[in-house]
Structure 1
């Protein structure tokens, strides 16, 4: 619960981990059902660690109250030859292999305690990688520019401890601990507090579907954490049926929301969790815990397109269908998973705009049924994007869309993204036309680095362009420092290319906040139709009963202009054409209610 004695300081009491009782006492709790005994080791520079036997509380729960305070270094001795970090540590003294650190959550004094978040329909999300921004302090320096441009929420890729100092964050093994190379827990809180002062929400990407390959000691002392009968690409699946496992992840989510004051979470790859009962429980506990009137948003990444989860339990879902069909239309790429979107992509775009998901139960390329009907869901249940970390960084050379698509059509696609009702998400640098790549990068120990490098290159062997092993050898090494430094996005004053895109995004976001956002609550889709090759017309009934109408042509040939009623909000690439919509053009109209 919150520390009610100090309204400018926040703490959430978790079931496990190190809890500071006062300046000189700390309670430690560990779930280790595979063991009969556990010792706490307190480390003191220059002397042998102090070893204290923990009390068996039953059902694998071990605890002890010890004389130590803030910043104390500790581990759990589970065997004579193995001491492990705390899986619920809030910080580490070293890397994932090192000692854990006692943190005082009440040490940080918040300035913007009155912040209650923003309603979801106001969201314009910018996904960022904190490491490429120079850590938490570097990210905080960029907040004013983002807020001024019209961004209303930043989404941090995972910031919990991972191996080394360079990583996307999805290889984490200590979900509660803040990545030391980015800064301290207090630095993270300062970033969030500063964002709130500028009116920005801060969302966090959390990974509850697996643990990374380096530093995961849970199987050594908590075998019940996993189920051997279900395999995943990362090993045995996490057993979300177990109450202790549920508590571990639910407390983690509540810690980020209550103690760090994040405005929401994006749950990575919940299809790999595949336990909707747990997901519902997570959502319910969050709803019952956060302060009355505070906005907290829960967003899914879910390849299953499970529309039922979006009816009430979760705020929205990343809409891969929108991205994939748009990517095919803009680039004509048809390999890999884009092959599922290469047949009649124009009809696919019309379905996405008109109904939300493209796949609503029909078989994908593997013959497996995917998705469920979604036409009844409000458009704001979907987060649409043209780019994100996955769709850029999982390419062999990390090319951004601006390097792959015709400029005029990409401009029209940007207008479609920002002036249609679904919630838009941008990837850092996209808002100024960044051309530098975003590569996959890691900082593993040599033996694991070799496996990751060869594994990544082998993933592309099925693609015709990389059939030759010599060509695959040119794919950047994820563990090379250059893969990280090359991925740093930079704003350059005086760069005409960047200024053009920055101005376009700024203009569109100003229009979105003025004309679209105030009408989004209660909005619903009316219809969408194909106008011609790569050309679509879609309409939405807005919350105030006005009608938003959008016609876009991503093709090469002009199509007949559909009947657009009301007044024109925006047009791009149309020239002097009135009755036709040229290739690379878009028109957006609004018919006021009662007209």
Structure 2
């Protein structure tokens, strides 16, 4: 029998030249709706795969790394491998057999960093020019004080321009960014500089082009549950679970990533799959490596953060701060306009604001989270969603005043929560970040119309002529206009913001980070409307306190500063310290 236990995709068994007799590759495809499967190699050779139990087809074929191939379904439909490790020519082209062991790693002693040291920087590799070009900015991030880069999805998508959330072959790094070995070199270089690498993965849907699973493995999906992207993925199936778990392990083992950020897991109905994935990662990865799993989850399932996941993106924290900074109240910000100071206090003291309360859609959302440590929550003021999902892609610096923004940045970088920055915010860039794709013909038209119709409920875009001003995602200029230039940070005005961020991160590294383990909330007090005081007892017994005032009024503090050491302040002078007051749009951070 020339088959091994089936696993998704093409697994190189013996190394050698692409078509040498010494090299062999195991091809496997789960196709329960097909009667016959063959693999067609780039030299025209056709090899029938053997049918196995439970809808599997597999065969050991004499070919090696670099061989192009497609699967042939029922003798007529040629499709790329859904678990392709590399694509020869975009999502519709041939898949390619990959030797994952060919790259020679240079940073062999790297074991990662503990979670409490994480200061995350989210970036888009494509906007920087690819894997090799992204390496250029890594020293800039180290100088800033960043300890982890989070790469927006790298999976192969249609065309050469995409956020990454329209992936079709989720195992294959996007070919327009560079080769798999160039991605490994980027990660290798990051590790040599002390930077963790977190990869954003999408397990809740596939993109609208290049995925053929529904034509030979319809059981991959369940029509009884619909998501914004169509039929839900059916995680009740063992083969489906294995598909995504194998993907997670590929990034962590073959590419040596330090963690994964799981996109929109609220669209995954079987939450026990997430627990299984975390368990399989924990079992497969040596215990001497620091591996981190992070969720994006509107459901606020706090229990998952005690079952193998380190943290969750805290949209609640972002939303209340964004409302207070900008006054925006449409869309999901409408849930934060009532008693915003109380909501701000709850976020600081308990993590999630929604812990079972009904959302604007009338459904209960969330679980109690006050028992979790502050490091279970990733805090951000901006990210790809919160900028790119705006109709015009505006940055926060264009939506609020400078003093209020600085107060929020102080909270972001000096609270015990894990901070996340979005590329360019550290020098106050005003370049927009748009939603961009590279679709064509009818699909391009549908994507553009759908994008513009998303905003028809917003007052500013209620008229069709205003919606026409929303950039077409498929226009190459939309992509070009989203690019940022890291040389900009040296320009007047931008350098001031850069120094502000760097100073705060230096303070975090010296006074806060070493003592984050065992940190707990001490007390959160509403001082006045739009003003709060939050205190946390750090692991070394000291108390970190942040007093912040986003109002236009002078606010009295709770008790005199006493012997507290002032770490940092904005718009607070000695008279305010003596009088125990906070002036408008100010903040003070102390240790005692």
Q: Distance in 1 between matches of 2:569 and 2:458?
A: 38
Indicate whether 1:531 and 2:530 are aligned. no
**Greater displacement, 571-580 / 266-275:** 571-580
Q: Distance in 2 between matches of 1:493 and 1:391?
A: 22
Give the deviation of 1:42 after TM superposition: 0.5
Aligned ranges for residues 184-333 of structure 1 at < 5 Å?
A: 184-333=179-328
Native 8 Å contact 1:439 1:487 kept in 2: yes
Q: Distance in 1 between matches of 2:492 and 2:512?
A: 29
Q: Distance in 2 between matches of 1:25 and 1:369?
A: 53
**Which among 445, 461, 477 is matched to residue 440 of structure 2?**
445
**Which among 9, 12, 23 is matched to residue 20 of structure 1?**
12
Native 8 Å contact 1:112 1:196 kept in 2: yes
Indicate whether 1:483 and 2:478 are aligned. yes
Give the deviation of 1:81 after TM superposition: 3.5
- Match of 1:188, SS state, is helix
Q: Distance in 1 between matches of 2:322 and 2:424?
A: 18
Native 8 Å contact 2:28 2:59 kept in 1: yes
Unaligned regions of 5+ residues in structure 2, if any? 17-22
Native 8 Å contact 2:12 2:64 kept in 1: yes
Indicate whether 1:504 and 2:500 are aligned. yes
Unaligned regions of 5+ residues in structure 1, if any? 1-12
Deviations 1:91-146 (A, max 9, x none): 00011111101111111000111110000000000000000011001111110110
Deviations 1:237-277 (A, max 9, x none): 11101111111000100010011000000000111002121
Indicate whether 1:545 and 2:546 are aligned. no
Give the deviation of 1:575 after TM superposition: 3.5
Native 8 Å contact 1:161 1:178 kept in 2: yes
Native 8 Å contact 2:38 2:75 kept in 1: no
| CA 14–558 in structure 1, closer or farther in 2 if over 3 Å, else same | farther
- Match of 2:185, SS state, is helix
Deviations 1:138-178 (A, max 9, x none): 11111011011100000000001001100000000111001
Give the deviation of 1:529 after TM superposition: 1.2
- TM-score, normalization by structure 2: 0.96
Native 8 Å contact 1:551 1:562 kept in 2: no
1:586 aligned residue:
587
Native 8 Å contact 1:319 1:383 kept in 2: yes
Give the deviation of 1:79 after TM superposition: 3.6
Give the deviation of 1:67 after TM superposition: 2.0
Q: Distance in 2 between matches of 1:194 and 1:51?
A: 40
Q: Distance in 2 between matches of 1:313 and 1:493?
A: 38
Indicate whether 1:569 and 2:567 are aligned. yes
Deviations 1:15-37 (A, max 9, x none): 12111122122111111111111
Deviations 1:511-549 (A, max 9, x none): 000000011000011121111121110010111111111
2:556 aligned residue:
560
**Greater displacement, 167-176 / 569-578:** 569-578
Q: Distance in 2 between matches of 1:274 and 1:230?
A: 8
Native 8 Å contact 2:489 2:498 kept in 1: no
- Match of 1:348, SS state, is helix
Native 8 Å contact 1:14 1:251 kept in 2: no
- Match of 1:362, SS state, is coil
